[in-house]
Amino acid sequence: MMDKNPYFTSRTEIGERFAKELANLRYENTAILALSPGGVVIAIEIAKQLHSIAGLLLLKHVYVPGDTSIGIINDQGGFTYDESIAAAQIEEFEIEYRNYISANKMEAMHALHAIGHENIMTPDYFKGRTVIVVSDFAKTGTSFHAALDFLKPVETEKIILATAVANVKAVDIMHRLGDKLLIAHTTDKDFPSSHYFANNQIPQTKELVQMMEQIVLQW
């Protein structure tokens, strides 16, 4: 379902909308994996309606000189290359900037651990479930690819990819990765995610994790 109006009241509004579209999964064996703090705000509303467990996969971009993102690393050390970069270009980066990339990965992991949370979910948490992967903004689709790399060790029932806003390039990647897509708005513009929401207040990561844990305790 696409919305021609790119401006939304809040991420909570998107979560409520997606929850209605996923109402058929209420009480089913689902799990929600949020990929950003803004994605958690959306995921919480979906979890409330579906009576689903929810968690956050912390991600951070890894860069080469020139401020070019070569890929994304998760809080458990898994790394996913950016699909928008050609394989030959990545190989060149790896040869020319090997030490720089290694140092950048270590720095990224340190930053993730600094903002991390105690209840880290492993891929086993999602085994056999319909997994709803949620973001508030998909610029390249790499974060969704990183999520599927994270889930790769286990067999899931179905993968649903949901985002409030997606760049048209990201949509192509999402179609290859997911069994079903939920996208409120697509764009070819290079605006930041905050451009699309009137309310951009997002709680700190630890508070968001506590909010997700409270939802689980209510069931």
Q: What confidence score (pLDDT) does residue 4 get? A: 53
Q: What angle, 0 to 180 degrees and rounded to 10, lies between the N-to-C axes of helices 37-50 and 205-218? A: 10
Q: What confidence score (pLDDT) does residue 120 get? A: 65
Q: Residue 137: CA atoms inside 13 Å, Cβ hemisphere, count?
A: 20
Separation of alpha carbons 176 and 157, rounded Å:
16
Domains of the chain and CATH, by start? 11-58+120-218 (3.40.50.2020), 61-114 (no CATH)
Listed in sequence order, the residues at least 6 apart from 172 whose beta carbon sits closer than 8 Å to its beta carbon are 141
* Per-position pLDDT tens, the chain of length 219: 445 555 899 999 999 999 999 999 998 999 999 999 999 999 999 999 999 989 899 999 999 998 899 999 998 899 999 988 999 999 999 999 999 999 999 999 988 887 765 556 789 999 999 999 999 999 999 999 999 999 999 999 999 999 999 999 999 999 999 999 999 999 999 899 999 999 999 998 888 888 887 876 666
Is residue 145 within 8 A of residue 139, CB to CB? The reply is no
Phi first, then psi: what are they for 159, rounded to 5°? Answer: -120, 120
Separation of alpha carbons 41 and 134, rounded Å:
10
Asked whether the whole model's pTM tops 0.85, one would answer: yes
The single-letter DSSP state of residue 29 is: S
Question: Looking up tokens 């990339």, which residue turns up?
Answer: 101
Q: What confidence score (pLDDT) does residue 116 get? A: 60
Separation of alpha carbons 190 and 186, rounded Å:
11
Q: What confidence score (pLDDT) does residue 95 get? A: 95
Single out the residue of 96, 86, 36 nearest to residue 66, CA to CA. Answer: 96
Q: What confidence score (pLDDT) does residue 93 get? A: 96
Q: What confidence score (pLDDT) does residue 219 get? A: 60
Reduced to 3 states (helix: H, G, I; strand: E, B; else coil), residue 158 is strand
Distances (CA, A) of 18 to 21, 65, 72, 135, 159: 5, 38, 26, 12, 15
